[in-house]
C-alpha cells in the first residue's frame, strides 16, 4: 500500500525570485535539491494549487507551495512507537519540554526511520488520548528542532492548537533561546554574529554564510571562560539567538574561524578529544500556548559537556548546572 504526506510552505521575502527547487531545498534541508527536482518534474509540487513541473520556476513572495511525498509501507513513512527514554523537564495538558540527549534525531527523515524523539513520544502517549489529531504524521507535535548531536531544551506540543500557537511564537520571535557552546580558539568579551545562511553550494549536508543570499541569522554571544585542550585554546560561550536557522551557531562560529569543538562537519573536530559537538540548548523562554504566560526552562548539562568543561577550564570560572 502507498502512503502520502503533503508538506506546505509559504515563500517569504528572503526567497522571492528564487528557483523553486532552491527554495524547497533551503526550506526543508533534510531533502536534497536533486530530490526536489525529481519531485517537481514528477508532478508532486503545486504553486497556489496549480501543479508546476519546472524546477527553475521563480517563486514569488507569499506563494503557497505544496509538496506531496509518496511512500510505501516498507519505507516506514508513518513512525512507530518505540520504547526509548525521554528526559521530561516539564509537562502539562498542552505541552512537554524535553532535555533531548545528543545523538537522537528529532523526527524521522531520510536514512533515519526510527530511534527518534517522535518514536519515543508515540510510545509515551500510546495509552493516552493526548498527542492526537496532528496533520503531519511524521512530525507530530514538533514545534522546533535541534540537530542530532545537539542536546538540550526541546518543546513539544500535545495538541494541534498548542502546536499552532507554539509555531507562531517561534515565527514571531517571541521565544528566547540560550545555548552553551565550546569553540576552538580564543574569543573574548561580548559580540554579535549577523549574516545570511543558505545551503552550501557544493556540500548539501552543510549550510554556509553569505552576504545577501539565504535567511538572515543573528546570534549574540558572551564569553564565560577561556581554557586549554591539550595545547589548543578553547572558549566557553553563551549564545542568545534571535533567529533559528539550520546549524546557525555551528555555521557562524566556523565562518569566523572558531568552530564548535567536536563538530566534524564544520571543522571543530580537529585536535580536540570530543565525541560530538560541544553545543547545548541550555535555556528556553516562551509564552504558554494556552495562557500566554511566559515560561522559562533550563536543561541540565549532559555528562560529556560537563566533563569537558571541568577538564578544560579553570575551576570556579563557570559553575556547570
Q: Tell me the pLDDT band of 250, cut-offs 50, 70 and 90.
A: very high
Above 80 in pLDDT, residue 298?
yes
Per-residue buried b or exposed e for 14-23, using 16+ beta carbons within 10 Å of the residue's own CB: bbeebbbbbb
For residue 100 the three cell numbers come to: 533531548
Above 90 in pLDDT, residue 318?
no
Which of 89-93, 201-205, 266-270 has the weakest average pLDDT?
Answer: 201-205
> How confident is the model over 177-188, as pLDDT tens digits?
999 999 999 999
Give the pLDDT score at 193.
Answer: 96
Type and span of the H or E element at 150: none
φ, ψ for residue 205, nearest 5 deg: -85, -10
- Domains along the sequence of the chain with CATH: 2-73 (3.10.290.10), 176-287 (3.30.2350.10)
Give the pLDDT score at 8.
Answer: 87
φ, ψ for residue 37, nearest 5 deg: -55, -45
Give the pLDDT score at 136.
Answer: 84
> How confident is the model over 111-155, as pLDDT tens digits?
678 899 999 999 999 998 889 899 888 889 999 999 999 999 999
φ, ψ for residue 255, nearest 5 deg: -65, -25
Interatomic CA distance for residues 14 and 213, integer angstroms: 8
Q: Tell me the pLDDT band of 316, cut-offs 50, 70 and 90.
A: low
Above 50 in pLDDT, residue 75?
no
Give the pLDDT score at 2.
Answer: 41
Judge whether 288 and 297 are in contact, CB under 8 Å: no
Q: Tell me the pLDDT band of 210, cut-offs 50, 70 and 90.
A: confident
Interatomic CA distance for residues 270 and 13, integer angstroms: 38
Burial of 124 (0-12, 13-18, 19+ CB in 10 A): buried
Give the pLDDT score at 1.
Answer: 34
* Residue among 21, 147, 149, 263 flagged as catalytic: 147
Residues 6+ apart with CB under 8 A from 83: 120, 123
First to last CA, the chain: 50
Q: Please state the rounded mean pLDDT for residues 92-101.
A: 97
Q: What 3-state class would DSSP assign to 120?
A: helix
The rounded mean pLDDT for the chain is 88
**Crossing angle (nearest 10°) for helices 33-41 and 20-27:** 130
135 part of the active site: no
The closest alpha carbon to 146, from 191, 185, 98, belongs to 98
> C-alpha distances in angstroms, 160 versus 72, 99, 143, 146?
26, 22, 10, 20
Amino acid at each position: 500500500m502507498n502512503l502520502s504526506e503533503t508538506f506546505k510552505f509559504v515563500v517569504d521575502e528572503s526567497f522571492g525570485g528564487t528557483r523553486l527547487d532552491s527554495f524547497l531545498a533551503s526550506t526543508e534541508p533534510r531533502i536534497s535539491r536533486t530530490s526536489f527536482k525529481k519531485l517537481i518534474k514528477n508532478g508532486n509540487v503545486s504553486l497556489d494549487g496549480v501543479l508546476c513541473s519546472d524546477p527553475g520556476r521563480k517563486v514569488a513572495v507569499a506563494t503557497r507551495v505544496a509538496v506531496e511525498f509518496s511512500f510505501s509501507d516498507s519505507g516506514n513513512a508513518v513512525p512507530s512507537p518505540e520504547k526509548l527514554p525521554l528526559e521530561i523537564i516539564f509537562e502539562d495538558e498542552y505541552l512537554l519540554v524535553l532535555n533531548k540527549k545528543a545523538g537522537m534525531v528529532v523526527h524521522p527523515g531520510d536514512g533515519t526511520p526510527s530511534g527518534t524523539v517522535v518514536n519515543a513520544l508515540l510510545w509515551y502517549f500510546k495509552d493516552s488520548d493526548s498527542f492526537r489529531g496532528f496533520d503531519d504524521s511524521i512530525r507530530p507535535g514538533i514545534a522546533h528542532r535541534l540537530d542530532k548531536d545537539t542536546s538540550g531544551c526541546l518543546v513539544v506540543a500535545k495538541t494541534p492548537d498548542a502546536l499552532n500557537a507554539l509555531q507562531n511564537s517561534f515565527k514571531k520571535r517571541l521565544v528566547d533561546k540560550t545555548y552553551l557552546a565550546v569553540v576552538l580558539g580564543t574569543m573574548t568579551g561580548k559580540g554579535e554574529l549577523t549574516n545570511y545562511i543558505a545551503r552550501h553550494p557544493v556540500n548539501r549536508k552543510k549550510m554556509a554564510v553569505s552576504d545577501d543570499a539565504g535567511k538572515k541569522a543573528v546570534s549574540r554571544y558572551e564569553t564565560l571562560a577561556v581554557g586549554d585542550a591539550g595545547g589548543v585554546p578553547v572558549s566557553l560561550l553563551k549564545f542568545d539567538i534571535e533567529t533559528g536557522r539550520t546549524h546557525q551557531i555551528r555555521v557562524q562560529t566556523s565562518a569566523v574561524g572558531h568552530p564548535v569543538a567536536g563538530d566534524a562537519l564544520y571543522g571543530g573536530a580537529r585536535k580536540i578529544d570530543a565525541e560530538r559537538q560541544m553545543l547545548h540548548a541550555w535555556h528556553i523562554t516562551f509564552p504558554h500556548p494556552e495562557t500566554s504566560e511566559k515560561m522559562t526552562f533550563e536543561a541540565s548539562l549532559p555528562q560529556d559537556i560537563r566533563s569537558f568543561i571541568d577538564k578544560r577550564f579553570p575551576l570556579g570560572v563557570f559553575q556547570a548546572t
